[in-house]
Amino acid sequence: MGRWVDSADPVLGSAISLARELADPVRLTALQLLSAEGPHTLSQLADVLGISAPRLSNHLARLRAAGLVTVEHTGRHAVYQVASPGLGDVLTALARYARADLAARPDRPPSADDVAHTCYDHAAGLLGVSVFSALIERGALQPPDGRDSALALGGDPAFFAELGVDLATVDTRRRKLATACLDRAHRLPHLGGALGKAVLDAFIARGLIEAHEGTRELTVTPRGTTELPALLPAFTPST
C-alpha cells in the first residue's frame, strides 16, 4: 500500500495546483465569472473586477499556465474562457460551503440585501441563486459550461410554469432568453435574460415578492415566506 502523501502523485499535485490558484481573490473571481457567464474579453473582465488590465493580464497568464483558462485572439481582442466545464462544479461547491459557513455564524446575521434584491430587472441575492439552482435541479435549464453567455432550456422546462412563467409569452426579440449572472453576494449564478425578468415579474404578480420603486430592494411578503421555500428548496428567507 502506497503513501497517502506523495509529492509525485499526479492527482494530489493537480489538486494542490488548483487550490494555489483559487487562493488569490482576483484569480478566483475571474474564474467564477468566466465559468458562470461565459467568455469575456480582457477589458470586460478588468472592468467588472475593477482592476487595471495589465494587473489582470498577469493573473490570467498564471491561469493559462495552470491550464485553467484558454484565450482566443479575435482582431484586437483577447477573449478568455474556462478550459474545462467541470471547473464550474468545483467553484459552485466552494461558494456553497463558504456561504453555509457564514450562515452558521451567530455574529453575522444576513442583511435584507443578502436575501433578495434586483440586479437590473431580475432577482439577485439568495432568492435569485435559489431560483437558478432549482431550475437546474429540475431539468428546466441547462447549467452554464463557460463556453457561451446564453443558456439553453433543459429537457423538462415545465418547472417554469410552476414559477408562474408562460414560456410562449417571453419576449426574446431584444435579448437572450436566459443567461447566468454571477451573484456578487453569494458567488453563485442567478438567472438573467428575458426569463430572469419573467420569473421576477411572476413572483411580484403572485404577491410573493414586493418591489420598491426607485430602489433595488425586494421584500419577501408573508405569502412568499410560506410559498417560496416549497418552490425553491434552497430558499429560506430568514437565512
State the pLDDT at residue 119. Answer: 95
Report residue 16's pLDDT band, with 50, 70 and 90 as the boundaries: very high
Task: Identify the DSSP state of 168.
Answer: G
Report residue 122's pLDDT band, with 50, 70 and 90 as the boundaries: very high
Report residue 108's pLDDT band, with 50, 70 and 90 as the boundaries: confident
State the pLDDT at residue 113. Answer: 66
Nearest to 178 by CA among 150, 138, 207: 150
Q: How far apart are CA 204 and CA 53, in angstroms?
A: 40
Q: Give the pLDDT mean for 83-112.
A: 87
State the pLDDT at residue 112. Answer: 67
Task: Identify the DSSP state of 150.
Answer: B
Report residue 2's pLDDT band, with 50, 70 and 90 as the boundaries: low
Q: Which three cell numbers stand for residue 142?
A: 441547462
Mean pLDDT estimate for the chain: 93
> Could you tell me the fold of the domain covering 10-82?
Arc Repressor Mutant, subunit A (1.10.10)
Q: How far apart are CA 223 and CA 185, in angstroms?
A: 25
Report residue 110's pLDDT band, with 50, 70 and 90 as the boundaries: low
Q: Give the pLDDT mean for 119-131.
A: 96
Report residue 8's pLDDT band, with 50, 70 and 90 as the boundaries: confident
pLDDT tens for each residue of 222-235: 999 999 999 999 99
End-to-end CA distance of the chain: give it in Å, rounded: 46
3-state secondary structure of 100: helix
| Among 1-5, 116-120, 229-233, the least confident range | 1-5
From-to residues of CATH 1.10.10.10 in the chain: 10-82
Query: Which run of H or E residues covers position 60?
Result: helix 53-65
pLDDT tens for each residue of 42-96: 999 999 999 999 999 999 999 999 999 999 998 889 999 999 999 999 999 999 9
> pTM higher than 0.85 for the full model?
yes
Q: Give the pLDDT mean for 158-167.
A: 97
State the pLDDT at residue 237. Answer: 79
